[in-house]
Structure 1
């Protein structure tokens, strides 16, 4: 099936192409395709490669680590993590990188390890395969073909299959069609490709990279040679009798693949295996044949090549003709491709039958993979392809690229090479770039010029004829004048050519491969004739020194707060009256990132900010611009650029990284109208505090209405319960201005619902605070609990002399409060808890005192000098109309002299609450409350308590015995003191052990907290039952800066302190 002439005759204008597919071949891959070894390096434009020491790292070394090691050691370090089969990268001590790109593979990955290319065949499942190559090749281990009924399919198996084919014209038979035996299988880049032989195959003789199939037909041997990613194929016809075999009338090979299609170029007779996108994966040059008569075609002055000795027991392996198309006794063979993908090679009958033909005759219908290749152009055979030098002067392909005219054969040659850079040079700053080649021959020692061109991409169909035009050879980029390899006076030498400008162009344009052509400026003068080694360890390569420019920030890694991700098109982001944080992230392949530059400007060009910021370890930086810098109603743009430690700048993101423009936003400073609130489940308490929730503590609904704000401009409602953090969001339905929010209060008594509207520019309305009271669940109050939710609460007398209750949450935080005093169902009189002189009541609460209903009551020494119990209602309030005076026994101090009272659980085992009090310098305990009187008042100490404050009397140390915690201003370096109690005879504590330090369990007071706890800094202290559920009592303290703090207790010392309220607690008259 003939196809139109290859498009290389009309190539596209861009010549450094986007990423090409890695490809493998069907027969003749690169002969001696070992290329430049990993360690080879050149220091000048013309020098031989040297071996570098192997890297010492235990694992792959990435660019940032290699760069660091190179700077530290002063020596270049290989970036092993970036190694490929044909590229090697080193970090330089100067901070730059060096990349070597060979035209051929230098190594192959076996498992997870790079190894030198080794084409030695070894036995594997299904046949014989080379040890280390790029692209798996498996030669047949021999076969017994089957008839049509023996199997088959589109994809050849490891054995043999039969398919219905048109019989070769030379085959005369009434029997079944010939059977196919799988000859070779190539797997490359995920594609399988199989070539099958029309008949049985014997078990091969293995010799290094070669597999010899003897007598595949009488007098005909088949030699397969493994190469990197492919193989060569030579059919050896030993004599004229063998040449008469009908097989040679039309030599058939079946091509098969599950996902490749095969195409024949009519002019060059080359075959291309292509994927679904039309990319060439494998290619075949023009099939050739030659005899054993002439001498190998060499240039003038060059010695004849001598055949290497081969295995004596298998003479075919020693035939010189395996390595050469001999002089004029070489002919191109015909080729055709059927619809069933049968490749028919038609040997040249004249060569087979000519009287001058010297047998054996060699027939080579070869194929070659398409990854990292070169080709020779030969004017004498202008329509033939010499892909990778195949069939030019060598059965396994010439190892040399020829340039110019040579007079011995009258041939004129050119050459072209493909170099694949991948993406490593994208956006890099190129310091130098040189093409390096080993010149192995020249006409003489006198230097003569040659030229280097940037050409279109080559492939297996490229020939002299379809490249001999100004389009292909229209871009000369460099040249050199050399004379090496003629004799010992001018031996072989490396040639270096500066191609920096072209590599720079490719780095800017994100090219992935570069094709370079070699041509003589005078193709009529043999003195210009040259050869360059094209295969093996010294194949041509490009060496580039560069510094990696940071990657341009991309749209997905750029954002503002508020506003969100970068937007380059309508509708633009709206940002309100708030400071704007601009944030971006960048990367740098060599780990050299230093800063990000931010530029913000308005649509009229007015600059707003131009800032450089250091990046963090993740490559992120940010800059905050005050809201005053932005004008409402204007549109603004911003970009980000990365800068490395070498001072190199990336492009401007997101425009230069495919973002389609600049990040854009508009500014709107309009504030929404505050919302309104209603709720049937949690009604507002009203002026007298009479309205409570319908249900006891539990979930309910609150409705928020936007009111004066346009629904189209509402982004969300932000709300929170009992703390003004606005960390919850509710979004109304499209076109609606109302949302209903499910809330679940944790606290009985007063709760605060905070809410605000945020418009689409991010502007919040003024917040609204909605107060509601929640009924407590049934049950007895716990220690310190006044609202029935089981949590200890805080009572306080404010500056106006009114009593408040602050229900605490599960961590002791207090935010909401409500009036805590009523007068027979009505509001208590203002300033009830202080007298006209400003003297305040002393307050304390613990649990139920009277009348034994299980609800917490309040004990207060009022400004009138008397001690009272105020009955609680279970909802956090105390009825002043139902107070009862507590009478003290004879010998007790006058309550008017009390400076502090603390109500505590039973201390002496009588099952009654007790009171600790200080009066002047004395310390007292009042016990035995009977519902009206205290039965016993016991003085514990007569001195030292004027400068002391009782904090709490509870079990702190965890031994089950109450302890005394107090502030001791008499000993400033101690601050807070702990007096450990001893067990009492009837439970509780031995009161004597709390009276004096010497009587305590330790015989002394212990330091609970050190300095800084003076009464000037911390005016009021109040102990509370355990708040944070660690089993240890805690305490509240007011600070002179007006804040309230909760101090979590510890077994021997105070633990953490944290601020729980910021109202003006400096004016609080009492807490308890």
Structure 2
């Protein structure tokens, strides 16, 4: 309290115990003009912590307390005003001049000493304070007339309440993605190869999951565009902490356009802050195909070159008309592999070519299929096909890995083995497959002589056992017991086996 007659006196812990019976044990907050025991004007002040309300949307606020005494049994008004802060040194002299305009007025009486709850609407004052930086709000009570004893009142200070209904503004959406990619801007902005990209953002709210959220996404042209309600799409009923997912409708973006996108959350009461902006460029036009593929190791001249295990260098050349967002190439030797699944290689920045190395594993004719690729991930409609042939004679004439749970000759010379009585088990180190034989009756065998290719002509020839050749295998013996020969590989003959 502060007192006009004693302007230098602090009432921080003084003169509060003179409430009338039956309220002698409470602290009274005195307001108005009294002439007992002498002429004095009292005002009472209340300080409230509002740190948790800063930057919130205050929807309603009321100050209330009990009136326990008044000079008359007729209602008279008591005003609420915002004042300067208070402490143990607050006096009439250093505080009364800080009182602002009237916030609210409430009429009450209690001459009969019956408690009556008195309430002031202070919503505007709380809205103003919540937009500031101070963690406290001080509200003062003063009589409408400070020269009339009919306005004299006493309030129960212990019943003072500041009741606030507020809403927290949703947080700015975060973790934005465009077409599944990260949120980037400037030179790092992504190229996307769709006219209907998916947009995603996480929505959160300081008030938790109490209210479902709506996420609205806006987009506009980077050059000359602005955020507008027409170019927007929203998803509602999103639980706080979850993602809002939308798709820009067809017909709203143009091929080649550069756009900005941004999101905002709404909790049914308030909009939050806008998210950071993301940029993207639309590109749905595939680049032209590669203009050429060259290799001095494996020329495209219809002749066989190199050999199995001999790596060759190939140069991939860009389209005749190279787009500004040209990125690189995709290539494969597998006729069943698509551009997206093929090996990807980045073009160099100077002449947009790329150099690749291929190490043939089979002596045969190959078709190297090469596509152009732009930054959006578009591939040229058709591949450039570069044909070359690998010379025979350096790789194996026949080879069986058994990884396919069959006796396929992976040298591709056609020496398939028929498996009789064997079973399939995990390979060495649990990698691939292995053929498990019983050591007596089970076996794997070709149907005839081993076929291979002539190193000079590439035509089919038969491996002759009367010439030099070598055989190698990897075997794990279950047991070394017994006295007989443990034959791993053998070749049948008319009278005996040429080798065991």
Aligned to 1:598: 217
Find 1:584's aligned residue among 185, 196, 201: 201
Aligned to 1:417: 46
Contact 2:71 2:149 in 1 (8 A): yes
Helix, strand or coil for the counterpart of 2:304? coil
Sort the Cα spacing of 1:499 and 1:845 in 2 relative to 1 into closer, same or farther, 3 A: same
Find out whether 1:757 has 2:337 as its counterpart. Answer: no
Aligned to 1:523: 146
Helix, strand or coil for the counterpart of 1:380? coil
Contact 2:292 2:318 in 1 (8 A): no
Aligned to 1:629: 252
Q: Shift of the alpha carbon at 1:382? A: 3.1
Helix, strand or coil for the counterpart of 1:557? strand
Sort the Cα spacing of 1:505 and 1:847 in 2 relative to 1 into closer, same or farther, 3 A: farther
Aligned to 2:108: 482
Find 2:115's aligned residue among 469, 484, 492: 492
Aligned to 1:690: 304
- Separation (CA, whole Å) in 2 of partners of 1:736 and 1:385: 85
Aligned to 1:401: 29
Contact 1:783 1:847 in 2 (8 A): no
Aligned to 2:416: 845
Q: Shift of the alpha carbon at 1:524? A: 1.5
Contact 2:208 2:240 in 1 (8 A): no
- Separation (CA, whole Å) in 2 of partners of 1:612 and 1:406: 63
Helix, strand or coil for the counterpart of 1:540? strand
CA deviation string 1:419-459 (max 9, x = no partner) = 223345755472x4321223343334332211112345555
Find 1:781's aligned residue among 382, 387, 399: 399
CA deviation string 1:174-224 (max 9, x = no partner) = xxxxxxxxxxxxxxxxxxxxxxxxxxxxxxxxxxxxxxxxxxxxxxxxxxx
Aligned to 1:551: 170
CA deviation string 1:887-941 (max 9, x = no partner) = xxxxxxxxxxxxxxxxxxxxxx99799xxxxxxxxxxxxxx984589xxxxxxxx
- Separation (CA, whole Å) in 2 of partners of 1:718 and 1:383: 87
Find 2:74's aligned residue among 446, 453, 456: 446
Helix, strand or coil for the counterpart of 2:5? helix
- Separation (CA, whole Å) in 2 of partners of 1:419 and 1:433: 12
Sort the Cα spacing of 1:791 and 1:630 in 2 relative to 1 into closer, same or farther, 3 A: same
Contact 1:756 1:767 in 2 (8 A): no
Find 2:62's aligned residue among 426, 429, 434: 434
What is the root-mean-square deviation of aligned Cα atoms in Å?
A: 5.3
Contact 1:426 1:511 in 2 (8 A): no
Sort the Cα spacing of 1:504 and 1:635 in 2 relative to 1 into closer, same or farther, 3 A: farther
- The equivalences for 1:727-876 within 5 A come to 737=352, 756-759=372-375, 765=380, 781-784=399-402, 820=412, 845-846=416-417, 869=449, 871-872=451-452
Helix, strand or coil for the counterpart of 1:490? coil
Find out whether 1:880 has 2:498 as its counterpart. Answer: no
Contact 1:613 1:622 in 2 (8 A): no
Contact 2:191 2:281 in 1 (8 A): yes
Contact 1:705 1:739 in 2 (8 A): yes
CA deviation string 1:157-185 (max 9, x = no partner) = xxxxxxxxxxxxxxxxxxxxxxxxxxxxx
Sort the Cα spacing of 1:523 and 1:736 in 2 relative to 1 into closer, same or farther, 3 A: farther
- Separation (CA, whole Å) in 2 of partners of 1:606 and 1:527: 58
- Separation (CA, whole Å) in 1 of partners of 2:90 and 2:341: 71
- Separation (CA, whole Å) in 2 of partners of 1:417 and 1:743: 84
**When the two structures are superposed, what TM-score results if normalisation uses the length of structure 1?**
0.33
Contact 1:447 1:482 in 2 (8 A): yes
Find out whether 1:653 has 2:274 as its counterpart. Answer: yes
- The equivalences for 1:19-418 within 5 A come to 376-383=1-8, 386=11, 389-391=12-14, 399-407=27-35, 408-418=37-47
Contact 2:61 2:121 in 1 (8 A): yes
- Separation (CA, whole Å) in 2 of partners of 1:746 and 1:458: 88
- Separation (CA, whole Å) in 2 of partners of 1:530 and 1:743: 98
Contact 2:66 2:160 in 1 (8 A): yes
- Separation (CA, whole Å) in 2 of partners of 1:399 and 1:478: 23
Q: Shift of the alpha carbon at 1:708? A: 5.4
Contact 1:858 1:871 in 2 (8 A): no
Contact 2:415 2:451 in 1 (8 A): no
CA deviation string 1:626-650 (max 9, x = no partner) = 6653123545454434355xx4453
What count of residue pairs does the alignment treat as equivalent?
428
Helix, strand or coil for the counterpart of 2:100? coil
CA deviation string 1:704-731 (max 9, x = no partner) = 55565769745x5475876654698766
Q: Which runs of 5+ in 2 are unaligned?
A: 18-25, 420-443, 465-484, 496-500
Q: Which runs of 5+ in 1 are unaligned?
A: 1-375, 785-789, 796-804, 808-817, 822-842, 849-855, 860-867, 885-908, 914-927, 934-1072
Contact 1:455 1:475 in 2 (8 A): no
Structure number, greater radius of gyration: 1
- The equivalences for 1:1030-1049 within 5 A come to none
CA deviation string 1:734-782 (max 9, x = no partner) = 76745667899999987978664333x6655557578788998879833
- Separation (CA, whole Å) in 1 of partners of 2:153 and 2:322: 83
- Separation (CA, whole Å) in 2 of partners of 1:847 and 1:515: 96
**When the two structures are superposed, what TM-score results if normalisation uses the length of structure 2?**
0.64
Sort the Cα spacing of 1:734 and 1:530 in 2 relative to 1 into closer, same or farther, 3 A: farther
Higher relative contact order (CA 8 A, sep 6+): 2
- The equivalences for 1:1052-1071 within 5 A come to none
